[in-house]
Amino acid sequence: MSSDRISAFAAEEERRVLSLRPVLAPRHGSYGDHPHQVYDAWPAEDPDAPLVILLHGGYWRYDRMHLTPFAAYLAAQGFHTLLPGFRRSGGAGGYPETFDDVALLVDTLPAGRPYVLAGHCSGGHLALWCAARALLPPGSRWHTEALPDSVLALAPLTDLAATRRDRLSDDAALQLLGGEENFAERLPPVDPVTLLRLSGTTGVRTVLLHGEVDEEVPLSQFGDYAAVHRDLETVVLPGTGHYTLIEPGAPAAAAVAGTLRALSAGHPLPAPAALLAPAPAAGD
């Protein structure tokens, strides 16, 4: 958490969403040889439905099970949804393994298959990082010119130095990068804000969507990223916290699905009020 003191609203939101029962995916697969290099897949009924790759949050430490209800929800909304696992901090991952896995995952997608790369919280950090990989030096282990078609970062961590400064989730950023002794050296190639400071854009259509009353990730994280990304599109949902973005059936989750539809089709984004409005009944 960003603070030990949170409102009753935020505490209830967190409890409600994180206590949802996991949803078993109809399909599973692997994208590498390590036991954590696996994915769950929820195919949509339409074989031509847009593809969404969904990167889970949890401050790079926790597994993907809390996001399975939302992945299933997106499939019901008409998306092919892929929810990968990857090596995580505190176990087999951290720097560089977590980044190796996410890069490997997107690099093994079929060439020419359009997709939206989405991520929540620390998963949003990884999605923004993937969009910036062409900004890395050509000799970097993660450099590529094959980038996502678009990125949707949901309440993302964008600035690892600020994450460290604010000691978010018991020094999660320090753990990710291997402690104080490694932090400064390892930060530049994996920090979205740092990568964008010189270029000002990744060249990938990028939307940052967050709740107006998010108490988990400091709102300054979103402003810091917007300040260095000159063509960023930002959606702020009024009266919305951190976790209801991934709560199936909540207005905020419907807004996320609406944003994904616009990105998949290459359309302009609806206004936040339109995204939060209930969908019209059949026949209206």
Euclidean distance between CA atoms 147 and 109, whole angstroms: 11
Q: What's the structural domain count of the chain?
A: 1
Per mean pLDDT, which range of 133-137, 259-263, 271-275 is the poorest?
271-275
Q: What pLDDT does 3 receive?
A: 45
- Residue 4: pLDDT over 80: no
Residue 55 lies in a domain: yes
Q: Which of 173, 171, 168 is nearest to 218 (CA)?
A: 168
CA distance 126 to 134: 14
- pLDDT at residue 273 in the model: 84
pLDDT above 50 for 94:
yes
Domain assignment present for 16? yes
Asked if residue 283 is part of any domain, the answer here is no
- What per-residue confidence (pLDDT) applies to 278? 62
Instruction: Give me the CATH number covering residue 102.
Output: 3.40.50.1820
Q: Tens digit of pLDDT for each residue in 256-267?
A: 999 999 999 999
In a domain, 31, yes or no: yes
Give every CB contact of residue 182 below 8 A, 6+ residues apart in sequence: 95
Task: Specify if 76 maps to a domain.
Answer: yes
Is 189 within 8 Å of 136 (Cβ atoms)?
Answer: yes
Residue 133 predicted with pLDDT over 50:
yes
284 assigned to some structural domain: no
**Which pLDDT value is given to residue 159?**
98
pTM value is 0.95
Domain containing 261 equals 8-276
- Does any domain span residue 137? yes
CA dist., res. 236 & res. 239, Å (int): 9
Q: For 153-192, what is each residue's pLDDT tens digit?
A: 999 999 999 999 999 999 999 999 999 999 999 999 999 9
- Expressed in angstroms, the distance from the first to the final Cα of the chain is 43
Contacting residues for 281 by C-beta, under 8 A, at least 6 apart = none
Q: Encoding tokens for residue 241? A: 């916290």
pLDDT at 112: 86
Note the pLDDT tens digit of each residue in 11-67: 999 999 999 999 999 999 999 999 999 999 999 999 999 999 999 999 999 999 999
Exposed e or buried b per residue across 147-164, where buried means at least 16 C-beta atoms within 10 angstroms of its C-beta:
bbbbbbbbbbbbbbebbb
For the segment 200-212, the average pLDDT, to the nearest whole number, is 98
pLDDT class for 272, splitting at 50, 70, 90?
A: confident
> Does residue 260 belong to any structural domain of this protein?
yes
What mean pLDDT is predicted for residues 70-80?
97
d(C-alpha 106, C-alpha 115), whole Å: 10
pLDDT at 1: 39
Q: What is the Cα–Cα distance from 105 to 123, expressed in whole angstroms? A: 14
Helix 192-199 × helix 219-228 angle, to 10°: 30
